[in-house]
């Protein structure tokens, strides 16, 4: 779900829809090239994995996404990573001068993220929403039926992950990382599937690319890949 960053009222509405605590902010989507204007020590974070301090002079523009300590959990958007969101952010920035929108996952408390149009319609009906947008190109108008409000959902699979009780973790990691990439190199790889999903950790040429990109990243961003 997406909303403007300037309104705490809209942030509260998003939290109410998702049954989250009132104090929880939502995450900012930002056009990547504007990141350094809004956040201290900014570097590209395509998957909402990093917190950055919001620059004091920008805080009145984006109060809905700021944590109590002045940070925000940023999702960088480029034309290559998500063309639809990038286009939306560019249009919003042209109208408002703010290259940022609120973003929060489409799911309810305790529920996995919605993955089909049918699930999205069910969610919207139960929350009293009148419109949903699908894939950035289809608008679905809904009639708000009070009898559907706040009904329990059809159960969806939440058991996505499992592991073998007798798994030898050390051997498994050696097998998965045969060229011994270090923590920073692996962090860059797994943090950016939009960029590196076509690379394999058991391909020496791909490993060389990752090592070079990690070095370039650490030169560009002084905080490197530390968590």
> Across the 227 residues of the chain, what is the mean pLDDT of every consecutive 10-residue run?
78 76 80 96 90 95 90 94 92 95 82 82 83 80 74 56 66 88 89 86 95 91 70
pTM: 0.61
Give the tokens for residue 103: 């973003």
Which part of the chain is CATH 3.90.870.20?
A: 2-103
pLDDT of 129 reads 82
User: What CATH number labels 2-103?
Assistant: 3.90.870.20
- The Cα–Cα gap between 57 and 84 comes to 29
**CA triple 148-149-152, angle to 5 deg:** 80
Determine contact, residues 201/178, Cβ cutoff 8 Å.
yes
- The Cα–Cα gap between 196 and 113 comes to 23
- The Cα–Cα gap between 59 and 51 comes to 15
Chain CA centroid to CA 178, Å: 30
Give the tokens for residue 161: 């992950």
Which H or E run includes 201?
A: none
pLDDT of 60 reads 92
Dihedral angle of Cα 90, 92, 94, 96, to the nearest 10 degrees: -150
pLDDT of 113 reads 82
- The Cα–Cα gap between 28 and 159 comes to 29
Strands 71-77 and 2-3: unpaired
């Amino acid at each position: 779900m997406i909303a403007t960053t300037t309104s705490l009222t809209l942030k509260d509405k998003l939290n109410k829809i998702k049954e989250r605590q009132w104090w929880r902010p939502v995450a900012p989507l930002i056009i990547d090239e504007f990141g350094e204007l809004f956040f201290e020590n900014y570097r590209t974070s395509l998957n909402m994995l990093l917190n950055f301090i919001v620059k004091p002079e920008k805080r009145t523009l984006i109060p809905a996404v700021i944590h109590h300590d002045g940070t925000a959990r940023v999702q960088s958007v480029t034309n290559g990573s998500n063309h639809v969101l990038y286009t939306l952010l560019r249009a919003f920035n042209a109208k408002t001068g703010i290259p940022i929108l609120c973003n929060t996952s489409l799911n309810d408390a305790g529920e996995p993220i919605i993955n089909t149009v049918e699930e999205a319609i069910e969610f919207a009906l139960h929350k009293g929403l009148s419109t949903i947008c699908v894939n950035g190109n289809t608008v679905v108008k809904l009639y708000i039926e009070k009898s559907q409000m706040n009904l329990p959902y059809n159960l969806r699979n939440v058991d996505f992950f499992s592991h073998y009780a007798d798994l030898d973790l050390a051997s498994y990691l050696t097998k998965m990382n045969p060229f011994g990439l270090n923590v920073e190199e692996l962090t860059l790889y797994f943090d950016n599937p939009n960029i590196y999903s076509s690379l394999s950790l058991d391909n020496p040429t791909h490993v060389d690319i990752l090592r070079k990109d990690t070095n370039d990243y650490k030169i560009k961003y002084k905080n490197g890949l530390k968590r």
